[in-house]
Amino acid sequence: MRTWLRQIQDKGFTTASAGAVVLIAAALLVVLVPMFGRGITAVVFTETVEFRRLQKDLHGRGDNEHLARALADAAAAREPIYTMLREFSEGIDTEPLVKQARDVYQKYGEYLNYHNTPKRQYSDYRRQAKDVRDSLVDALESDDRQTVLDGLDAVLKEKDNPAFADTPAMEFFAMAQRYRKIAETVDLSHRAEYLTHLQEVTAAIRQLLGPLPGEATPPLWMDQYGATRLDIARKAKAALLYDEQWISDGPGKPMVKKIISRKEQFAGTPLEPLFDRVEADWEKLLQPRLRIYWQYFFDDWVNSHYFGGVGPEILGTLLLTLMSMCVAIPLGVISAAYLVEYAGDTVWIKIIRMCINTLAGVPSIVYGLFGLAFFVVTIGAIGKPCILAASLTLSILALPVIIRASEEAIRAVPQTYREASLALGAGKFRTLVLVTLPAAGPGILTGIILSLSRAAGETAPILFTGVVAMGPIPSFGSPSQWIENPGSLLGWLFQPTRALSYGSYDIAVGDRISMLAPHQQFGMAMTLILLTVALNVAAIVIRSRLSKKLRGC
């Protein structure tokens, strides 16, 4: 009976353990798979011709001939869209036309002066031109179709006037003819409504295809190009083809979201065919193709992570992590060796161990505030947030874990190892260095692995002590500078840096520009996980080789 009960207990415990492992693995998959699924889109995605143009302008990458051919094909597909938009815009947003009409009137006066027109004739011609200009301006500014058509007819009647033949005034009649085509098809009483929708359509086209022909080059890189990725292009396409409005069905009723087709908004106008053309020529407009952007792990960002990669963030994370381990590992192992081999079991040692255990559970933000107060403010040799201050802060964060893991590993070394070494004539220190610590190496490395992962992913300790969201890459100088000034070799220690953890945090809480490209945030998180895994794998390989060496394999 007891044997049967014990078997049930053993099987139950085994099943529960396996179930716990499965649950943990499932929880990791639930968190990591979506993150990697979205993060990988920062590296593997469908690019557009705008991305290829950006890469050529920024980094000189790509084939000139292929890029020129793709740009030419895209420009040919885009030209009808720009033409429809420009012609319709002239009929809705008439302020530029009014200004142009006044400029034509002024140029006509300058033309008459240049040709030494007699004074009386000059006054008569100017008066006629003024009448034409005023009729055209009144037509442009009116919302009544009949008034507009009458005003345009009055302008076009003067087309054969000898006073205007072969002069700049002929532009009046070209403007009148173009505007008449629009006035005959557009309900000008809804001009304000059309203008609002037109501005939204124009903004969507700029986001999709870049600046319109003839526009000045915008100062920001993100505005100089259209959608560089197909997923961003689809968002711009949705804004171009559909208008999202919140409408109430009646007084006291809640607002509901309605999607209205832009084609319906501009039905019967010269702009209506534009939306069908965007759908039909979608691939011609953008020239999409698959891209594996491996340079993401080396490139710097542009426009606050809207473009580019995370190269500086990877470099900064590696510097902070490895520097902190260079400080924490020796201090942690030496402290653990002292506590186990030399300190004994006094009251003070028990208090020290209790403090170490307490420090292992202190929130990381406390370490960050301590690092700011001590390393940045108090120590004059540092005096500012930099890599050195952040690394020292992270080393203090990792120290309790390394001490506790090293203590347990040293304590687990069989006493017979020490006795054999002492019996052969080795002293206590020599036994510690050559026998005990190598035997405890795998356990010590386990603690280092845990500390390494935490140091690489922490944000709070480095928030105030050495990282920046935007800043230059740490400069290591050149060999010639090292020879002339050996101190410059370590100058990078006193520079701030960027880091993956803080970069991801900055995008999440305050970077509005990079939030327009969410793949960057997930890509940064994915890179941080991959970097941490790579560091852990390296440490595990070292631990495995050390274990084999100790076993004589």
pLDDT of amino acid 63: 85
pLDDT-derived band at 474, boundaries 50, 70, 90:
confident
Number of residues written out for the chain: 553
Three-state SS for 17-29 is HHHHHHHHHHHHH
For the cut 80, the answer to whether the pLDDT of residue 91 exceeds it is no
Model confidence at 553: pLDDT above 60? no
**How confident is the model over 28-65, as pLDDT tens digits?**
888 888 888 888 888 999 999 999 999 998 888 888 88
- Sorted by sequence, the CB contacts under 8 Å of residue 132 that are 6+ apart come out as 155, 158, 164, 169, 172
| Residue 454: closest CA among 317, 311, 312, 352 | 317
- Return the pLDDT at 486: 61
What is the SS3 assignment for 355? helix
Q: How far apart are CA 135 and CA 128, in angstroms?
A: 11
CB 458 within 8 A of CB 504: no
Strand partners, 70: none
Please give the helix or strand (H or E) that residue 7 lies within, else none.
Answer: helix 2-39
Residue 409 tokens, joined: 């590993």
Domain with CATH 1.10.3720.10 in the chain: 307-551
Distance CA 207, CA 47 (A): 15
Kindly state the average pLDDT of the residues 129-158: 82
Radius of gyration of the chain (CA): 37
DSSP state of 217: P
Q: What is the pLDDT of residue 52?
A: 92
Residue 168 above 70 pLDDT? yes
Predicted local distance difference test score (pLDDT) of residue 380 = 66
Distances (CA, A) of 30 to 37, 225, 492, 536: 11, 36, 40, 22
- CB 71, CB 49: distance < 8 Å: yes
Q: In the predicted model, what is the mean pLDDT of residues 387-402?
A: 91
Would the CA dihedral through 45, 219, 67, 295 be positive or negative? Answer: negative
Mapping DSSP to helix (H, G, I), strand (E, B) and coil, where does residue 498 land? coil
Alpha-carbon span 47 to 230, nearest angstrom = 6
CB 392 within 8 A of CB 489: no
Q: How far apart are the C-alpha atoms of 69 and 75, rounded to whole Å?
A: 10
CB 262 within 8 A of CB 240: yes
Distance CA 335, CA 348 (A): 14
To the nearest 10 degrees (0 to 180), the angle between helices 311-341 and 387-411 is 40
| Torsion sign, CA atoms 466, 470, 476, 477 | negative
**What is the C-alpha separation between 313 and 319, in angstroms, rounded?**
10
- Is the model more confident about 509 or about 292? 292
Contact status, residue 383 vs residue 495, Cβ threshold 8 Å: no
Residue 323 CA, distance from chain mean position: 27
Question: What CATH architecture does domain 307-551 belong to?
Answer: Orthogonal Bundle (1.10)
- Contact between 427 and 341 (Cβ < 8 Å): no
Q: What is the pLDDT averaged over residues 454-459? A: 85
pLDDT at 407 over 60: yes
Q: pLDDT tens-digit profile of 496-532?
A: 888 888 888 888 776 666 667 788 888 888 888 888 8
> What are residue 497's phi and psi, to 5 degrees?
-145, 170
Q: Which of 195-209, 221-235, 415-429 has the lowest mean pLDDT?
A: 415-429
Cα separation, 320 vs 300, in Å, equals 18
How many whole angstroms separate alpha carbon 168 and alpha carbon 42?
Answer: 54
Q: How far is CA 175 from the centre of its chain?
A: 45
| Residue 250 pLDDT greater than 70, yes or no | no
**Mean predicted confidence (pLDDT) in 474-495:** 68
Q: What is the mean pLDDT of the chain?
A: 84
Task: Please determine, for residue 546, whether its predicted confidence score (pLDDT) is greater than 80.
Answer: no
Question: Residue 483: pLDDT band by 50, 70, 90 thresholds?
Answer: low
Which residue has 């903004």 as its token pair?
A: 203
Cα–Cα nearest to 352, from 340, 366, 364: 340
482 pLDDT tier (thresholds 50, 70, 90): low
Q: Is the pLDDT of residue 460 over 80?
A: yes
Q: pLDDT band at residue 393, thresholds of 50, 70 and 90?
A: very high
Q: What percent of the chain has pLDDT over 90?
A: 12
Instruction: Say whether pLDDT at 1 is over 60.
Output: no
Euclidean distance between CA atoms 307 and 145, whole angstroms: 47
Residues 172-207 have pLDDT tens digits of: 888 888 888 777 777 777 777 888 888 889 999 999
**Any bridge partners for residue 47, and if so which?**
229, 289
Q: Which of 394, 361, 286 is nearest to 46 (CA)?
A: 286
Q: What is the C-alpha to C-alpha distance for residues 201 and 195, in angstroms, rounded to an integer? A: 10
69 pLDDT band (50/70/90 cuts)?
very high
Contact between 477 and 491 (Cβ < 8 Å): yes
Residue 297 · residue 314 · CB < 8 Å: yes
Give me 402's structure tokens.
Answer: 């390394």
**Dihedral angle at the C-alpha atoms of 44, 48, 54, 60, nearest 10 degrees?**
70
